[in-house]
Chains A and B, each alone.
Chain A
Amino acid sequence: MPRFAMLAAALLAVMTGGPASAGDAADRAAILSGYAEQAAADDPGFSGFTAARGEDLFRTRWAGGDARTPACTACHTEDPRAQGRNAKTGRPIEPAAVSVEPDRFTDIDEVEKQFRRDCDSVLGRACTAREKGDYITFMQEQ
């Protein structure tokens, strides 16, 4: 292999193989099992997450927080596969569904930051570990 090609290949490897910020299904599974441990600690009767409860969380008009955002759907829209829009600032939001955005729920810092902000905005309180796991389970099936 000519030296130049070797160098180019090495560079390419560095550029594409760097720390992946876009996560994968294994990262999402790890986040879910972390929430499952917490949920079991909160409630000994906990027996797993369900997409149905996640959908309820998503669609219910809680109206417990900011008047501009009575439900998750105020920003993420009724259809998890559709592009959303921030109801306070007008900024577009990529779809929440994992089928459309495969790197959804794969960075724990990002996931925790948004649950903190969004649950406060909609429910006027923090979401529980069970609610978080249910929500991700629902979005995973979307």
Chain B
Amino acid sequence: MRAVLLALPLAVALGSGPLLADDDEWMPPVTHTLTREECGDCHMAFQPGFLPARSWNRMMGTLSDHFGDDASIGIEKANAIRAYLTANAGDVDRRGAARGYMRWITPDGVPQRITENPAFVREHDFRPSVWQRHDVVTKSNCLSCHKGADRGYYEDD
């Protein structure tokens, strides 16, 4: 019994952390179903750790003009998603790659793109022909190169 009680928290700790991945190769995954669904329609639902809370706040207030798309949703859904994204933002939960990305955020910066963060730019300094691959289309298409991206895994593959 004692061993079970001790093993349980260990399993929980392992289950919620990176599995055989080094810190920068992992980002805490999206665990909120509504966010996965509503923000996963047009692209993968990006992990909240890539942006600070104020960025998600602004984005959730400007969904009718979202990178040229109208991504607006009902106010109740939007509020629930906003609460999830801000509570798990990179400046709140610094696990995994969040720490490296947050280092580059200026005190008053409210970035909207993950792909413009210097941490991203440095990790993705590829020849133009890589970005022109027909299955890539845009830098934000993480899944085209990282097969485990929607589970938070960004190992080199």
Contact = CB atoms under 8 A, between A and B. Distances in A.
Contact of B136 (A90, A117, A120): A90
Contact of B144 (A66, A90, A120): A90
Contacts of A86: 42-43, 137
Interface string A78-92: 000000011111110
Contact of A120 (B43, B67, B70, B140): B70
A10 B43 CA distance: 38
B156 interface: no
A85 B43 CA distance: 11
B143 interface: yes
A90 B135 contact: yes
Nearest to A91: B43
A42 to B, nearest CB: 23
Contacts of A66: 68-69
A117 B137 contact: no
Given A86-B137, A88-B137, A90-B141, 6 more contacts: A88-B69, A89-B43, A89-B138, A90-B140, A91-B42, A120-B70
A90 B140 CA distance: 8
Tier of interface size on chain A: 10 to 19
Nearest to B136: A90
B80 to A, nearest CB: 17
A116 B69 CA distance: 11
Interface in A65-108: 66, 85-91
A121 interface: yes
B59 interface: no
Contact of B143 (A91, A116, A120): A91
Interface string B125-156: 00000000001111011011000000000000
A21 B69 CA distance: 27
Nearest to A86: B42
Interface in A108-142: 116-117, 120-121
B44 A117 contact: no
Contacts of A91: 42-44, 141, 143
A89 B137 contact: yes
A88 B42 contact: yes
Contacts of B135: 85, 90
Contacts of A87: 137
24 contacts: A66-B68, A66-B69, A85-B137, A86-B42, A86-B43, A86-B137, A88-B42, A88-B68, A89-B42, A89-B43, A89-B140, A89-B141, A90-B43, A90-B135, A90-B136, A90-B137, A90-B138, A91-B42, A91-B43, A91-B141, A116-B70, A117-B69, A117-B70, A121-B69
